[in-house]
Amino acid sequence: MLKKLAIGIAVGLASTTVQASDWLHCGDVFDSQSGQLVGERYIEVENGDIKSVKVNAPGDSSSLIDLSDSTCLPGFIDLHVHLDGQSGPNSYIKQFTQNPADLALVAQNYGMKTLKAGFTTVRNPGDSDNVTIALRNAINAGITDGPRIYTAGKSIATTGGHADPTNGWKEQLMGRPTPKDGVINSEEDAREAVRQHYKDGADFIKITATGGVLSMASSGDNPQFTDDELEALVDIADDYNFHVAAHAHGKAGMLRAVKAGIASVEHGTYMDDEVIAAMKEHGTYLVPTILAGKFVAEKAEIDGYFPEVVRPKAREIGPKIQDTFAKAYKAGVNVAFGTDTGVSAHGDNALEFQYMVEAGMPEAEAIQAATSIAADFLKNDKIGRIEANKKADIVAVKGNPLEDITLLQNVSFVMKDGKVYKQ
Protein backbone atom coordinates (compact mmCIF):
# COMPACT_ATOMS: atom_id res chain seq x y z
CA MET A 1 0.00 0.00 0.00
CA LEU A 2 2.81 2.41 0.89
CA LYS A 3 4.44 1.73 -2.50
CA LYS A 4 1.13 2.52 -4.24
CA LEU A 5 0.80 5.71 -2.16
CA ALA A 6 4.28 6.86 -3.18
CA ILE A 7 3.56 6.17 -6.85
CA GLY A 8 0.27 8.07 -6.69
CA ILE A 9 1.89 11.08 -5.08
CA ALA A 10 4.72 11.10 -7.61
CA VAL A 11 2.23 11.08 -10.49
CA GLY A 12 0.32 13.95 -8.87
CA LEU A 13 3.48 16.03 -8.57
CA ALA A 14 4.47 15.44 -12.16
CA SER A 15 1.10 16.51 -13.55
CA THR A 16 0.23 19.58 -11.49
CA THR A 17 3.22 21.85 -11.03
CA VAL A 18 5.23 24.17 -13.22
CA GLN A 19 8.08 26.51 -12.52
CA ALA A 20 7.07 29.94 -11.26
CA SER A 21 8.33 33.10 -12.91
CA ASP A 22 9.91 36.05 -11.14
CA TRP A 23 7.33 38.71 -12.06
CA LEU A 24 3.54 38.89 -12.44
CA HIS A 25 1.98 41.67 -14.48
CA CYS A 26 -1.54 42.18 -13.06
CA GLY A 27 -4.11 44.35 -14.80
CA ASP A 28 -5.60 45.14 -11.40
CA VAL A 29 -4.92 44.06 -7.80
CA PHE A 30 -7.33 43.61 -4.92
CA ASP A 31 -6.01 45.16 -1.72
CA SER A 32 -7.54 42.96 0.96
CA GLN A 33 -6.71 45.45 3.70
CA SER A 34 -8.72 48.32 2.22
CA GLY A 35 -11.14 46.17 0.23
CA GLN A 36 -10.39 48.13 -2.95
CA LEU A 37 -8.88 47.58 -6.36
CA VAL A 38 -5.65 49.55 -6.60
CA GLY A 39 -4.91 49.31 -10.33
CA GLU A 40 -2.16 47.83 -12.48
CA ARG A 41 0.75 46.31 -10.57
CA TYR A 42 3.92 44.30 -11.09
CA ILE A 43 4.55 41.68 -8.42
CA GLU A 44 8.07 40.37 -7.85
CA VAL A 45 8.31 36.83 -6.48
CA GLU A 46 11.43 35.36 -4.95
CA ASN A 47 11.92 32.14 -2.96
CA GLY A 48 8.21 31.66 -2.45
CA ASP A 49 7.56 35.18 -1.13
CA ILE A 50 6.42 38.48 -2.57
CA LYS A 51 9.57 40.59 -2.73
CA SER A 52 7.96 43.79 -4.01
CA VAL A 53 4.80 45.24 -5.54
CA LYS A 54 5.47 48.00 -8.07
CA VAL A 55 3.50 50.38 -10.26
CA ASN A 56 6.14 50.50 -12.99
CA ALA A 57 7.30 47.62 -15.15
CA PRO A 58 10.62 45.97 -14.23
CA GLY A 59 13.61 46.66 -16.43
CA ASP A 60 14.01 42.98 -17.28
CA SER A 61 10.66 41.48 -18.29
CA SER A 62 12.01 38.21 -19.64
CA SER A 63 10.53 36.24 -16.72
CA LEU A 64 7.16 38.00 -16.63
CA ILE A 65 3.79 36.19 -16.44
CA ASP A 66 1.24 38.26 -18.31
CA LEU A 67 -1.95 38.71 -16.28
CA SER A 68 -2.61 42.17 -17.67
CA ASP A 69 -6.18 41.19 -18.58
CA SER A 70 -6.90 39.90 -15.08
CA THR A 71 -7.50 40.94 -11.50
CA CYS A 72 -5.01 39.48 -9.02
CA LEU A 73 -6.14 38.65 -5.49
CA PRO A 74 -4.53 37.00 -2.48
CA GLY A 75 -4.94 33.24 -2.42
CA PHE A 76 -8.26 32.41 -0.79
CA ILE A 77 -8.59 30.85 2.66
CA ASP A 78 -11.39 28.40 3.45
CA LEU A 79 -11.73 27.89 7.21
CA HIS A 80 -13.97 24.83 6.99
CA VAL A 81 -13.19 21.92 4.66
CA HIS A 82 -13.02 18.16 5.10
CA LEU A 83 -10.45 16.90 2.63
CA ASP A 84 -10.69 13.21 3.46
CA GLY A 85 -14.11 12.63 1.91
CA GLN A 86 -17.12 13.89 0.02
CA SER A 87 -20.76 13.20 0.75
CA GLY A 88 -22.80 10.93 -1.45
CA PRO A 89 -25.09 7.89 -1.36
CA ASN A 90 -22.10 5.63 -0.60
CA SER A 91 -20.46 7.85 2.04
CA TYR A 92 -21.64 5.85 5.03
CA ILE A 93 -20.42 2.47 3.80
CA LYS A 94 -16.96 3.85 2.98
CA GLN A 95 -16.03 4.06 6.67
CA PHE A 96 -16.03 0.25 6.63
CA THR A 97 -14.14 -0.16 3.35
CA GLN A 98 -11.46 2.55 3.28
CA ASN A 99 -8.15 2.23 5.09
CA PRO A 100 -6.14 5.23 6.36
CA ALA A 101 -3.83 4.95 3.32
CA ASP A 102 -6.88 5.18 1.04
CA LEU A 103 -8.11 8.25 2.89
CA ALA A 104 -4.68 9.87 2.62
CA LEU A 105 -4.81 9.56 -1.18
CA VAL A 106 -8.39 10.84 -1.22
CA ALA A 107 -7.36 13.85 0.86
CA GLN A 108 -4.41 14.64 -1.39
CA ASN A 109 -6.64 14.50 -4.48
CA TYR A 110 -9.28 16.76 -2.96
CA GLY A 111 -6.57 19.06 -1.66
CA MET A 112 -5.33 19.61 -5.22
CA LYS A 113 -8.87 20.30 -6.45
CA THR A 114 -9.21 22.87 -3.69
CA LEU A 115 -5.87 24.48 -4.51
CA LYS A 116 -6.65 24.72 -8.22
CA ALA A 117 -9.95 26.41 -7.32
CA GLY A 118 -7.88 29.23 -5.81
CA PHE A 119 -7.89 28.21 -2.14
CA THR A 120 -4.25 28.21 -1.14
CA THR A 121 -4.92 27.76 2.59
CA VAL A 122 -7.57 25.65 4.33
CA ARG A 123 -8.59 24.79 7.87
CA ASN A 124 -9.71 21.16 8.24
CA PRO A 125 -11.96 20.87 11.33
CA GLY A 126 -12.26 17.11 11.66
CA ASP A 127 -11.04 14.07 9.76
CA SER A 128 -10.68 10.30 10.05
CA ASP A 129 -7.50 8.64 11.33
CA ASN A 130 -5.65 12.00 11.47
CA VAL A 131 -4.95 11.72 7.73
CA THR A 132 -4.91 15.50 7.20
CA ILE A 133 -2.17 15.79 9.82
CA ALA A 134 -0.09 13.43 7.68
CA LEU A 135 -1.04 15.32 4.51
CA ARG A 136 -0.14 18.67 6.08
CA ASN A 137 3.25 17.29 7.09
CA ALA A 138 3.88 15.88 3.61
CA ILE A 139 2.97 19.20 1.95
CA ASN A 140 5.13 21.18 4.37
CA ALA A 141 8.05 18.81 3.71
CA GLY A 142 7.70 19.14 -0.08
CA ILE A 143 6.82 15.47 -0.50
CA THR A 144 3.56 16.30 -2.23
CA ASP A 145 1.54 19.34 -3.26
CA GLY A 146 -1.61 20.83 -1.88
CA PRO A 147 -3.00 23.82 -0.01
CA ARG A 148 -1.52 25.07 3.24
CA ILE A 149 -3.39 23.07 5.89
CA TYR A 150 -4.43 23.85 9.44
CA THR A 151 -5.96 20.68 10.84
CA ALA A 152 -7.79 19.65 13.97
CA GLY A 153 -7.27 15.97 13.33
CA LYS A 154 -10.27 14.17 14.78
CA SER A 155 -13.24 16.19 16.02
CA ILE A 156 -14.05 15.92 19.73
CA ALA A 157 -17.56 14.69 20.54
CA THR A 158 -19.52 13.17 23.40
CA THR A 159 -20.84 9.60 23.41
CA GLY A 160 -23.51 9.37 20.72
CA GLY A 161 -22.93 12.96 19.72
CA HIS A 162 -22.20 14.40 16.32
CA ALA A 163 -18.69 13.13 15.39
CA ASP A 164 -18.86 10.02 17.58
CA PRO A 165 -17.30 7.77 14.92
CA THR A 166 -19.48 4.76 15.88
CA ASN A 167 -22.90 6.39 15.47
CA GLY A 168 -25.22 4.13 13.52
CA TRP A 169 -23.07 1.03 13.91
CA LYS A 170 -24.48 -2.24 15.22
CA GLU A 171 -23.85 -3.01 18.87
CA GLN A 172 -21.07 -5.55 18.25
CA LEU A 173 -19.04 -2.85 16.46
CA MET A 174 -19.76 0.18 18.64
CA GLY A 175 -17.47 -0.54 21.55
CA ARG A 176 -16.67 2.43 23.81
CA PRO A 177 -14.73 5.15 21.99
CA THR A 178 -12.31 7.00 24.30
CA PRO A 179 -10.67 10.44 24.37
CA LYS A 180 -8.00 9.01 22.09
CA ASP A 181 -10.81 8.42 19.57
CA GLY A 182 -12.13 11.94 20.13
CA VAL A 183 -15.04 10.96 22.41
CA ILE A 184 -15.34 12.42 25.93
CA ASN A 185 -17.81 12.30 28.83
CA SER A 186 -16.21 14.35 31.59
CA GLU A 187 -13.89 17.24 32.36
CA GLU A 188 -10.98 14.85 32.73
CA ASP A 189 -11.80 13.24 29.40
CA ALA A 190 -11.86 16.72 27.84
CA ARG A 191 -8.37 17.48 29.11
CA GLU A 192 -7.07 14.11 27.96
CA ALA A 193 -8.56 14.57 24.48
CA VAL A 194 -6.90 17.97 24.01
CA ARG A 195 -3.56 16.63 25.19
CA GLN A 196 -3.92 13.67 22.82
CA HIS A 197 -4.53 16.10 19.96
CA TYR A 198 -1.37 17.95 20.93
CA LYS A 199 0.50 14.66 20.88
CA ASP A 200 -1.02 13.78 17.48
CA GLY A 201 0.13 17.09 15.99
CA ALA A 202 -3.15 18.98 15.57
CA ASP A 203 -3.15 22.75 14.94
CA PHE A 204 -6.43 23.52 16.75
CA ILE A 205 -9.39 21.82 18.41
CA LYS A 206 -12.78 21.16 16.86
CA ILE A 207 -15.76 20.22 19.03
CA THR A 208 -19.31 19.31 18.09
CA ALA A 209 -21.23 21.46 20.54
CA THR A 210 -24.61 20.35 19.18
CA GLY A 211 -26.10 17.62 17.07
CA GLY A 212 -25.40 17.67 13.35
CA VAL A 213 -27.07 17.02 10.04
CA LEU A 214 -25.10 14.15 8.55
CA SER A 215 -24.51 12.02 11.66
CA MET A 216 -26.58 8.91 12.22
CA ALA A 217 -28.51 10.40 15.13
CA SER A 218 -32.00 11.84 15.40
CA SER A 219 -31.21 15.35 16.66
CA GLY A 220 -29.42 17.96 14.62
CA ASP A 221 -29.40 20.71 17.22
CA ASN A 222 -29.43 19.43 20.83
CA PRO A 223 -26.61 20.57 23.17
CA GLN A 224 -23.99 17.85 23.62
CA PHE A 225 -21.46 19.18 26.16
CA THR A 226 -21.94 20.42 29.70
CA ASP A 227 -20.66 23.82 30.75
CA ASP A 228 -17.94 22.17 32.83
CA GLU A 229 -16.76 20.03 29.91
CA LEU A 230 -16.63 23.05 27.60
CA GLU A 231 -14.72 25.14 30.11
CA ALA A 232 -12.21 22.33 30.64
CA LEU A 233 -11.74 21.95 26.88
CA VAL A 234 -11.16 25.65 26.28
CA ASP A 235 -8.90 26.08 29.32
CA ILE A 236 -6.57 23.24 28.39
CA ALA A 237 -6.65 24.25 24.71
CA ASP A 238 -5.43 27.70 25.73
CA ASP A 239 -2.48 26.05 27.52
CA TYR A 240 -1.43 24.49 24.23
CA ASN A 241 -2.09 27.63 22.16
CA PHE A 242 -5.02 25.96 20.38
CA HIS A 243 -8.10 27.85 19.34
CA VAL A 244 -11.39 25.94 19.60
CA ALA A 245 -13.88 25.78 16.74
CA ALA A 246 -17.39 24.67 17.64
CA HIS A 247 -19.77 23.00 15.22
CA ALA A 248 -23.14 24.29 16.40
CA HIS A 249 -26.68 24.44 15.03
CA GLY A 250 -28.89 24.74 18.14
CA LYS A 251 -29.10 27.79 20.39
CA ALA A 252 -28.44 26.18 23.77
CA GLY A 253 -25.22 24.37 22.79
CA MET A 254 -24.04 27.36 20.79
CA LEU A 255 -24.54 29.74 23.70
CA ARG A 256 -22.73 27.43 26.12
CA ALA A 257 -19.77 27.18 23.74
CA VAL A 258 -19.56 30.93 23.14
CA LYS A 259 -19.64 31.70 26.87
CA ALA A 260 -16.91 29.08 27.43
CA GLY A 261 -14.60 31.03 25.11
CA ILE A 262 -14.53 29.17 21.80
CA ALA A 263 -13.01 31.08 18.87
CA SER A 264 -15.56 30.30 16.15
CA VAL A 265 -19.06 29.01 15.64
CA GLU A 266 -19.34 26.80 12.57
CA HIS A 267 -22.79 26.95 10.85
CA GLY A 268 -24.75 28.76 13.61
CA THR A 269 -28.16 27.80 12.20
CA TYR A 270 -30.49 28.66 15.09
CA MET A 271 -28.55 31.70 16.27
CA ASP A 272 -30.81 34.33 17.83
CA ASP A 273 -30.34 37.81 19.30
CA GLU A 274 -29.06 36.42 22.61
CA VAL A 275 -26.40 34.33 20.86
CA ILE A 276 -25.47 37.26 18.61
CA ALA A 277 -25.00 39.50 21.64
CA ALA A 278 -22.81 36.89 23.32
CA MET A 279 -20.69 36.43 20.20
CA LYS A 280 -20.14 40.16 19.89
CA GLU A 281 -19.24 40.39 23.58
CA HIS A 282 -16.69 37.56 23.34
CA GLY A 283 -15.37 38.41 19.85
CA THR A 284 -16.49 35.03 18.51
CA TYR A 285 -16.34 34.51 14.76
CA LEU A 286 -19.06 32.97 12.62
CA VAL A 287 -17.91 30.61 9.87
CA PRO A 288 -21.25 30.35 8.05
CA THR A 289 -20.96 27.40 5.56
CA ILE A 290 -23.98 28.53 3.51
CA LEU A 291 -22.88 26.26 0.67
CA ALA A 292 -23.23 23.14 2.82
CA GLY A 293 -26.70 24.16 3.93
CA LYS A 294 -27.92 24.64 0.38
CA PHE A 295 -26.29 21.42 -0.74
CA VAL A 296 -27.87 19.16 1.89
CA ALA A 297 -31.28 20.75 1.45
CA GLU A 298 -31.13 20.01 -2.27
CA LYS A 299 -29.87 16.43 -1.86
CA ALA A 300 -32.46 15.65 0.82
CA GLU A 301 -35.06 15.61 -1.94
CA ILE A 302 -33.29 12.75 -3.73
CA ASP A 303 -34.43 9.32 -2.57
CA GLY A 304 -31.53 7.26 -1.27
CA TYR A 305 -28.96 10.04 -1.21
CA PHE A 306 -29.04 10.30 2.59
CA PRO A 307 -30.14 7.73 5.19
CA GLU A 308 -33.70 8.35 6.35
CA VAL A 309 -32.56 9.58 9.78
CA VAL A 310 -30.57 12.31 8.03
CA ARG A 311 -33.17 13.56 5.49
CA PRO A 312 -35.46 15.49 7.86
CA LYS A 313 -32.47 17.23 9.47
CA ALA A 314 -31.11 18.25 6.06
CA ARG A 315 -34.53 19.58 5.03
CA GLU A 316 -34.96 21.53 8.27
CA ILE A 317 -31.50 22.92 8.94
CA GLY A 318 -29.99 23.39 5.49
CA PRO A 319 -32.25 26.18 4.17
CA LYS A 320 -31.87 28.31 7.32
CA ILE A 321 -28.10 28.93 7.26
CA GLN A 322 -28.07 31.70 4.66
CA ASP A 323 -30.74 33.70 6.51
CA THR A 324 -28.90 33.23 9.80
CA PHE A 325 -25.71 34.51 8.20
CA ALA A 326 -27.53 37.58 6.90
CA LYS A 327 -28.87 38.35 10.36
CA ALA A 328 -25.49 37.85 12.06
CA TYR A 329 -23.62 39.93 9.49
CA LYS A 330 -26.08 42.83 9.72
CA ALA A 331 -25.79 42.71 13.51
CA GLY A 332 -22.01 43.10 13.37
CA VAL A 333 -20.83 39.58 14.22
CA ASN A 334 -17.28 38.82 13.06
CA VAL A 335 -17.45 36.71 9.89
CA ALA A 336 -14.74 34.57 8.31
CA PHE A 337 -15.10 32.49 5.17
CA GLY A 338 -15.85 28.78 5.37
CA THR A 339 -17.83 26.30 3.29
CA ASP A 340 -17.89 22.83 4.94
CA THR A 341 -16.74 21.50 1.58
CA GLY A 342 -16.63 17.74 1.71
CA VAL A 343 -20.33 17.94 2.34
CA SER A 344 -20.52 19.65 -1.08
CA ALA A 345 -18.09 18.90 -3.90
CA HIS A 346 -14.44 19.87 -3.48
CA GLY A 347 -13.47 22.61 -5.90
CA ASP A 348 -16.86 24.33 -5.65
CA ASN A 349 -15.76 26.36 -2.60
CA ALA A 350 -16.12 29.74 -4.34
CA LEU A 351 -19.90 29.35 -4.54
CA GLU A 352 -19.86 30.57 -0.93
CA PHE A 353 -18.86 34.06 -2.13
CA GLN A 354 -22.00 34.23 -4.25
CA TYR A 355 -24.23 33.11 -1.38
CA MET A 356 -22.68 35.61 1.03
CA VAL A 357 -23.29 38.44 -1.45
CA GLU A 358 -26.87 37.24 -2.04
CA ALA A 359 -27.39 37.53 1.73
CA GLY A 360 -26.35 41.18 1.76
CA MET A 361 -22.57 41.23 2.21
CA PRO A 362 -20.77 43.50 -0.28
CA GLU A 363 -18.44 41.75 -2.70
CA ALA A 364 -15.31 43.33 -1.26
CA GLU A 365 -16.18 42.24 2.28
CA ALA A 366 -16.89 38.69 1.14
CA ILE A 367 -13.41 38.55 -0.41
CA GLN A 368 -11.87 40.05 2.71
CA ALA A 369 -13.57 37.34 4.77
CA ALA A 370 -11.60 34.79 2.73
CA THR A 371 -8.29 36.68 2.70
CA SER A 372 -7.14 39.24 5.29
CA ILE A 373 -9.82 38.45 7.88
CA ALA A 374 -9.32 34.69 7.64
CA ALA A 375 -5.54 35.20 7.87
CA ASP A 376 -5.96 37.33 10.98
CA PHE A 377 -8.20 34.66 12.49
CA LEU A 378 -5.43 32.10 11.92
CA LYS A 379 -2.89 34.57 13.36
CA ASN A 380 -0.79 34.20 10.22
CA ASP A 381 0.50 37.57 9.03
CA LYS A 382 2.20 36.03 5.97
CA ILE A 383 -0.94 35.15 4.02
CA GLY A 384 -4.16 36.84 2.91
CA ARG A 385 -2.54 39.97 1.45
CA ILE A 386 -0.58 40.96 -1.66
CA GLU A 387 2.25 42.88 -0.06
CA ALA A 388 6.01 42.71 0.18
CA ASN A 389 7.28 40.04 2.57
CA LYS A 390 4.08 38.00 2.41
CA LYS A 391 3.78 34.51 0.95
CA ALA A 392 3.42 34.47 -2.82
CA ASP A 393 -0.13 33.07 -2.68
CA ILE A 394 -1.87 34.76 -5.62
CA VAL A 395 -4.90 33.99 -7.76
CA ALA A 396 -6.29 35.77 -10.78
CA VAL A 397 -9.63 36.06 -12.58
CA LYS A 398 -10.50 37.69 -15.85
CA GLY A 399 -12.72 40.67 -15.10
CA ASN A 400 -13.74 42.60 -12.00
CA PRO A 401 -14.99 40.42 -9.10
CA LEU A 402 -16.30 43.49 -7.28
CA GLU A 403 -18.81 43.82 -10.10
CA ASP A 404 -19.43 40.10 -10.58
CA ILE A 405 -18.58 37.89 -7.60
CA THR A 406 -19.30 34.73 -9.61
CA LEU A 407 -16.03 35.29 -11.48
CA LEU A 408 -14.27 33.78 -8.46
CA GLN A 409 -15.80 30.42 -9.36
CA ASN A 410 -13.47 30.25 -12.36
CA VAL A 411 -9.98 31.38 -11.41
CA SER A 412 -7.56 31.36 -14.33
CA PHE A 413 -4.31 31.49 -12.36
CA VAL A 414 -3.20 29.99 -9.06
CA MET A 415 0.15 30.44 -7.32
CA LYS A 416 1.02 29.16 -3.86
CA ASP A 417 4.41 29.74 -2.23
CA GLY A 418 5.69 31.08 -5.55
CA LYS A 419 4.79 27.92 -7.48
CA VAL A 420 2.22 28.07 -10.27
CA TYR A 421 -0.48 25.39 -10.16
CA LYS A 422 -2.90 26.79 -12.73
CA GLN A 423 -2.33 29.08 -15.69
Give which of 245, 340, 229 is closest to 285, Cα–Cα: 245
Lowest mean per-residue pLDDT among 28-42, 181-195, 210-224, 276-290: 210-224
Are β-strands 148-151 and 157-158 bridged in parallel, bridged antiparallel, or unpaired?
unpaired
Same-domain status, 208 and 307? yes
What pLDDT does 369 receive?
98
**pTM assigned to the model:** 0.92
Same-domain status, 213 and 314? yes
Which span out of 157-171, 215-229, 281-295 was modeled with the highest average pLDDT? Answer: 281-295
Same-domain status, 37 and 170? no
Q: Is 170 within 8 Å of 208 (Cβ atoms)? A: no
What pLDDT does 45 receive?
96
Residues 50-88 have pLDDT tens digits of 999 999 988 876 689 999 999 999 999 999 999 999 988
Same-domain status, 170 and 201? yes
Give the list of residues 6+ apart from residue 190 with CB closer than 8 angstroms, or none: 156, 179, 184, 229, 230, 232, 233, 236
Q: How confident is the model at residue 167 (pLDDT cuts 50, 70, 90)?
A: low
Same-domain status, 249 and 328? yes
Same-domain status, 57 and 190? no
pLDDT > 50? residue 4? no
Higher pLDDT: 174 or 51? It is 51
Residue 233 CA to residue 194 CA, distance in Å, equals 7
pLDDT > 80? residue 96? no
What is the residue range of 413's domain? 2-75+385-422
pLDDT > 90? residue 355? yes
Same-domain status, 167 and 47? no
Same-domain status, 308 and 412? no
Lowest mean per-residue pLDDT among 11-20, 76-85, 199-208, 357-366: 11-20
Higher pLDDT: 89 or 359? It is 359
The CATH number linked to 267 is: 3.20.20.140
Average pLDDT over residues 263-272: 97
Residue 181 CA to residue 196 CA, distance in Å, equals 9
Under DSSP, is residue 263 helix (H, G, I), strand (E, B) or coil? Answer: coil
- Total domains, the chain: 2
What pLDDT does 30 receive?
98
Same-domain status, 123 and 152? yes
Same-domain status, 325 and 408? no
pLDDT > 50? residue 151? yes
Average pLDDT over residues 296-301: 91
The CATH number linked to 31 is: 2.30.40.10
Same-domain status, 167 and 266? yes
Name the H helices within 221-320.
227-239, 251-260, 273-282, 290-299, 311-317
Residue 413 CA to residue 241 CA, distance in Å, equals 35
Under DSSP, is residue 246 helix (H, G, I), strand (E, B) or coil? Answer: strand
Give which of 219, 87, 202 is closest to 164, Cα–Cα: 219
Same-domain status, 249 and 346? yes
Strand partners, 397: 71
Average pLDDT over residues 200-205: 98
